[in-house]
Amino acid sequence: MARVTVEDCMDNVENLFELVLVATKRARQLANGAESMVPWENDKPTVVALREIADGYVTPTVLDEADNPFAAQEAAEAEAAALAEEAGDELAAPAATTPEEPTDL
């Protein structure tokens, strides 16, 4: 792909300061394992972030997202644990109400 320029990105952000903030945040997300919205093409995370901004995939709303890259994963794990606990309670309830018959041999 052709080189990305600041002018390419300025159509999608209000000013240069905001561009720096958005590109920095997105580059950190990419470096921490976030999925890229454009092909990597052997580029560094900063270049990929700028290409995403230039193509309109990343907007200043990225600044409002949580900084924890594992927040979504942690939320999913907490929900799964709650569902497993609920399912375990439902499975354990019938077993507790049914007394076992003693078997004499």
SS3 105: coil
Mean pLDDT taken over the chain: 83
- pLDDT of residue 49 exceeding 90: yes
Determine contact, residues 79/53, Cβ cutoff 8 Å.
Answer: no
Residue 52 DSSP label: H
Query: Which residues, at least 6 apart from 43, have a Cβ–Cβ distance to it below 8 Å?
Result: 51
Mean pLDDT of 4-31: 93
* Calpha distance 19→10 (Å, rounded): 7
Specify the pTM.
Answer: 0.61
